[in-house]
Structure 1
Amino acid sequence: MSDMFDEDREVDPDKALAAVGIPRTYRWQGTLQDMLSAVRLGMQQQRLDDTIVDRAAEAIVMQLCDTLGGQIIYLPRGVSIQRALRNARIYADSQRGSMPHELATRYRMSIQNIYDIIARQRALARRAEPDLFGFDDP
């Protein structure tokens, strides 16, 4: 919008912030910083060398951004994620040949729970596989 003196009254927020010395920040910048801190902490808890931690943490966060960037995702917390990771390990162990009674002992669970977990994980794995024969096509 211009007035009679041909002065532009539209304010560019980036120019206005730069003029007063306040950097422009985005909501995702804090999230990335939190992700980087969490990855570094997790790697330090594994007692990895600090030079490796810094390089690897940044590479991991960049890969997450490249893979998941632009999506709205839900990240579970606490017991939910621990249980999901445990179930994935149980399934992977069963695929490598561990017997259900061995898994029950190793994970301190009943054999029936092990069978249930393997069945659910197998169903998840099947859904992730491509449909080679066109059964999912309309």
Structure 2
Amino acid sequence: MQDNIAPPALRKNQAALTQSMTDMIEIIEHAIDREMERDASPAGLANASVIALCNVLGGTAVYLPRPTALKRMERDRQIFKAYIEGVPIAETLKKHKICSQTYYSIIKKQRHSLRLQTTVNGHVSD
């Protein structure tokens, strides 16, 4: 097996992790959006976010990756968003300090993940 190709079980776990993190981000964004109308203080926003996560995930075991994995996932999400929006490749490469091979690898993985989400959910969620 080549080093750069993850076994199917690992790819499945990575896809699930990506979806879990995306779900948690959406939960927090929604909680912050609601709370901004009431109490925009950092404490109020943090409290609303934790409560929202507990409401959805309470009682379940949740794996939280290391910050480097989260940063990479966010970077990849931003790169894919730029790709969808038609941002020139050279601009994205410079902004994220990556090579074109990494760029195309990220786009391929993100497109695959989007297809999986579409297949599972029947539609693409924002």
The bucket for the TM-score relative to the shorter chain is 0.5 to 0.7
Computing the radius of gyration from Cα coordinates, the structure with the larger value is 1
* Aligned residue in 2 for 1:54: 43
Work out the number of aligned pairs and report it: 85
SS in 2 for 1:71: coil
Q: Where in structure 1 are there 5+ consecutive unaligned residues?
A: 1-49, 134-138
CA contact (8 A) 1:100 1:115 kept: no
Runs ≥4 residues deviating over 6 A: none
Shift of residue 55, structure 1, vs aligned partner? 1.0
2:106 to 117, 124, 130: 117
User: Taking structure 1 as the reference length, what is the TM-score of the superposition?
Assistant: 0.54
Q: Where in structure 2 are there 5+ consecutive unaligned residues?
A: 1-38
* Aligned residue in 2 for 1:86: 75
Q: Which amino acid aligns with 1:122?
A: R
Shift of residue 78, structure 1, vs aligned partner? 2.6
Q: Where do residues 1-138 of structure 1 align in structure 2 (5 Å cutoff)? A: 52-130=41-119
Identity rate, percent: 30
